[in-house]
Amino acid sequence: MKYVGLDVHKEFCQASVLNEDGDEVLNVRVPANVDSLNEFLDGFQEASFVLESTNVWEWYYQTIESRGFDVKLAHPLQVKAISNARVKTDKVDARTLAELLRADMIPESYVPPKDIRDLREALRTRASLVQDATSIKNRIHAKTLRRGIIRPEELGGSFSRSHREWLRSLGIATIDHLLNTLEAVEYEVKEINRQLRSEYEARYDARLISEIPGIGWYGALTILAEIGDVHRFPDAQHLAAYAGLVPSVHQSANSCFYGHISKQGSKYMRWILVEAVHIHVRTASDSAITKFFNRKLKKSKRNVATIAAARKMAVAIFHMLDKQEHFRITG
């Protein structure tokens, strides 16, 4: 049995290989592409692998997993807390991971099943495309403003069909190019929406989450994809913490100070919940969440009340998924 620690980067990964006695038999740099990684994996029959949860972990993990090897995803902050290495290099980091793996001391990050990983990727791709579309529209606005061109009021909504026809009638090549790019991006969003709507209809838990006023099909799917298996959380507060909606705690001697929210965990889930609260408090006046928000608003700033209501919404989602219960407007 070999124990392999991978310190992964965008351009390469550093691999440290230990034998059963704990001796390092190899420490090598592997280029960051599938062919090179597979060629490296060809040299193993029995091996266990570990890598840290970084921005590029997924394709490494999936490639190793698809070859039938045992692979673990390590939590970077907890690995840092365990490791006492004074010198930080790629070789040292890779060996540290391999040593922790051999000692069965890897603090593991949650790895959702492949269908949830694929769903996350599709949802994040959609979010990126929507941001691209917004950016292109802003660039078109900027180009017309710099030329002193004002959109006629009778054209209707911004980037409606009549607005786009008027923009093309201006005969400005750069605007025509941006419009072509915008329409290509919008087509991709439409296609991915079609696929995601089918996912939403097929997933009961997503439809359950969307019973909460303010959470639509896209928000419900995003929350479900970020949670994965709700039973991995011991209780509702752990789910709220995962969404980065609990205050940070600073404790010293007999003093305890609660600061701003930690913002650790899933930024996507936090974003959806905060946006959902904005809609929820306007459209569901009888909701326990809205009443809680209004009470908080009397004592604190609006953003503080919003975060507190988002935390309460996360707690409600936990109980809905855990008990397979419908949303109760009164709590």
Both structure tokens of 327: 């949303």
Query: What does the alpha-carbon distance between residue 102 and residue 171 come to, in Å, rounded to a whole number?
Result: 67
Tell me: the pLDDT tens digits for 295-319?
999 999 999 999 999 999 999 999 9
Instruction: State residue 288's pLDDT score.
Output: 96
In a domain, residue 330? The reply is no
Instruction: State residue 253's pLDDT score.
Output: 42
Same domain flag for 316 and 231: yes
Tell me: the pLDDT tens digits for 192-236?
999 999 999 999 999 999 999 999 999 999 999 999 999 999 999
Q: Is 106 helix (H, G, I), strand (E, B) or coil?
A: coil
Q: Is the pLDDT of residue 84 over 90?
A: no
In a domain, residue 227? The reply is yes
In a domain, residue 55? The reply is yes
Tell me: the pLDDT tens digits for 141-154?
999 999 999 888 88
Same domain flag for 54 and 147: no
In a domain, residue 329? The reply is no
Query: What does the alpha-carbon distance between residue 129 and residue 112 come to, in Å, rounded to a whole number?
Result: 24
Residue 32 is given by DSSP the state S
Q: Is the pLDDT of residue 258 over 50?
A: no
Instruction: State residue 53's pLDDT score.
Output: 87
Both structure tokens of 73: 């995803």
Q: Closest Cα to residue 69, out of 51, 42, 48?
A: 48
Tell me: the pLDDT tens digits for 21-66?
999 999 999 999 999 999 999 999 999 999 998 889 999 999 999 9
In a domain, residue 11? The reply is yes
Instruction: State residue 49's pLDDT score.
Output: 98
Among residues 150, 185, 202, which one ends one of the domains? 202
Domain, as residue range, for 258: 209-323
In a domain, residue 331? The reply is no
Among residues 43, 72, 102, which one ends one of the domains? 102
Tell me: the pLDDT tens digits for 260-271?
555 567 899 999
Dihedral over alpha carbons 304, 305, 307, 312 (to 10 degrees)? 150
Instruction: State residue 13's pLDDT score.
Output: 95
Instruction: State residue 264's pLDDT score.
Output: 63
Instruction: State residue 261's pLDDT score.
Output: 54
Residue for token pair 């990964």 = 13
Same domain flag for 226 and 194: no
Same domain flag for 62 and 98: yes
Residue 170 is given by DSSP the state T
Q: Is the pLDDT of residue 250 over 60?
A: no
The proportion of the chain whose per-residue pLDDT surpasses 70, expressed as a percent, equals 93
Domain tally for the chain?
Answer: 3
Same domain flag for 141 and 80: no
Same domain flag for 98 and 166: no
The proportion of the chain whose per-residue pLDDT surpasses 90, expressed as a percent, equals 82
Same domain flag for 89 and 162: no
Instruction: State residue 91's pLDDT score.
Output: 94
Same domain flag for 97 and 19: yes
Residue 29: give its domain's CATH number.
3.30.420.40
In a domain, residue 109? The reply is no
In a domain, residue 328? The reply is no
Q: Closest Cα to residue 41, out of 65, 77, 7, 8?
A: 65
Both structure tokens of 292: 């809680």
Q: Where are the alpha helices (DSSP H) in 21-89?
A: 34-41, 57-66, 76-82
Both structure tokens of 272: 């959806």
The pTM of this model reads 0.80
Same domain flag for 138 and 95: no
Q: What average pLDDT score do residues 98-104 get?
A: 95
Q: Is 118 helix (H, G, I), strand (E, B) or coil?
A: helix
Q: Closest Cα to residue 92, out of 196, 1, 14, 201?
A: 14
Alpha-carbon dihedral sign for residues 314, 317, 323, 326: positive
Q: Could you please report the per-residue DSSP string of 314-327? A: HHHHHHHHHHT---
Count the residues in the chain.
Answer: 331
Same domain flag for 66 and 139: no
Q: Closest Cα to residue 117, out of 267, 253, 229, 232?
A: 229
Residue 42: other Cβ atoms inside 10 A: 9
Among residues 202, 235, 263, which one ends one of the domains? 202
